[in-house]
Homo-oligomer: A and B are copies of this chain.
């Protein structure tokens, strides 16, 4: 019996995540009958390559969303808010990489290694979590299964890619300018990022946390289905191109042996343990970039808390932090035959 194939649309095909989605569908041999690359009118007419064939980028429109089985949306929250319903009404399942619907109670928020079963209950829309949340959840979930995590104190080191392809280019332009003693251009970021760093520039909430930090708090709770999980985060942008890193302090009710955490994480899906204590060689963005797995290491007993554990991770923000997780959700829907749920709903 021939494998079933699907019409897939990438919404935001020319962006940093869109480009990666295209590569991943190809690399992972996603069963595609037809691929549509959708973007703003500005990008329409561009040609991208898929399986050696040129594909023309189309402007996003209602007709472009007809007869699509799966929409991988990565064009920002406002585009998703405007078009997700249109795509669903036309019969598609939307896997949305934006923050638009993540915290809606009837929208599954999925990391396939953590809560795949929740994806079965979708109503045509599945949300892809925020990058920092996905990366952290891969390292924390296997530990949480063995001994519940009570509190998370995380500080992030977030790359320019989180603000898109133009932001990555801007950091390089800034570095070149500064090396030539010229003032750095700042169009995307509010402040120079090359040779500098600053708190994540997402809007601040009343409590003083920025939205990026609240995503880590709220999304982790939702994915883990543990509304009382205590999480605090400090999110910082650093002059790195495409991988995020995180310093994570965990508290449990009873001590968690580092050696035990190590052996659990060595076998955890989506995780690669990277610890060479002799060489002082641990996860770093250069190693994580382009890798599917989140790199985890420097697992230590917290000297300040008898039930504390310290760990350090780096993961490709564009790949597992965004595009790969979305493609894995699509693969899950296909493998479990959960695409139909939307039609039945």
Contacts and interface: CB of A to CB of B under 8 A. Distances in A.
Interface of A: 151-153, 155, 157, 171-172, 175-176, 179, 190-192, 194-199, 201, 203-204, 207-210, 217, 230-232, 234, 236, 238-241, 245, 247, 249, 258, 277, 279-282, 284-286, 298-305, 308, 310, 312
A216 to B, nearest CB: 11
Contact of A282 (B198, B203, B280): B198
Given A153-B153, A230-B304, A208 B277 contact: yes
Nearest to A280: B201
Contact of A195 (B198, B234, B239): B239
A280 B280 CA distance: 35
A239 B236 contact: no
B191 A284 contact: yes
Nearest to A199: B282
B240 A208 contact: no
A247 B240 contact: no
Given A204-B280, A208-B298, 14 more contacts: A155-B155, A157-B157, A157-B238, A175-B194, A192-B286, A196-B286, A197-B285, A198-B282, A198-B284, A199-B280, A203-B280, A209-B300, A230-B305, A247-B247
A274 to B, nearest CB: 11
Contact of A286 (B191, B217, B286): B191
Contact of A247 (B194, B231, B234, B312): B234
Contacts of A240: 195-197, 239
A303 B179 contact: no
Contact of A301 (B191, B194, B208, B308): B208
A251 to B, nearest CB: 9
Contact of A302 (B176, B192, B232): B232
B204 A284 contact: no
Contacts of A204: 277, 280
22 contacts: A151-B304, A152-B304, A153-B249, A155-B155, A176-B179, A190-B279, A195-B240, A195-B241, A196-B286, A199-B280, A203-B280, A204-B277, A207-B301, A208-B258, A210-B280, A231-B303, A232-B249, A234-B249, A234-B310, A234-B312, A238-B239, A239-B240
B238 A280 contact: no
Contacts of A175: 175, 179, 194-195
A99 B308 CA distance: 28
A217 B310 CA distance: 14
A152 B192 CA distance: 30
A102 B124 CA distance: 62
B232 A197 contact: no
A228 to B, nearest CB: 11
Contacts of A302: 232
A257 B252 CA distance: 26
A7 B329 CA distance: 71
A225 to B, nearest CB: 18
A152 B302 CA distance: 11
Contact of A197 (B153, B194, B196, B245): B245
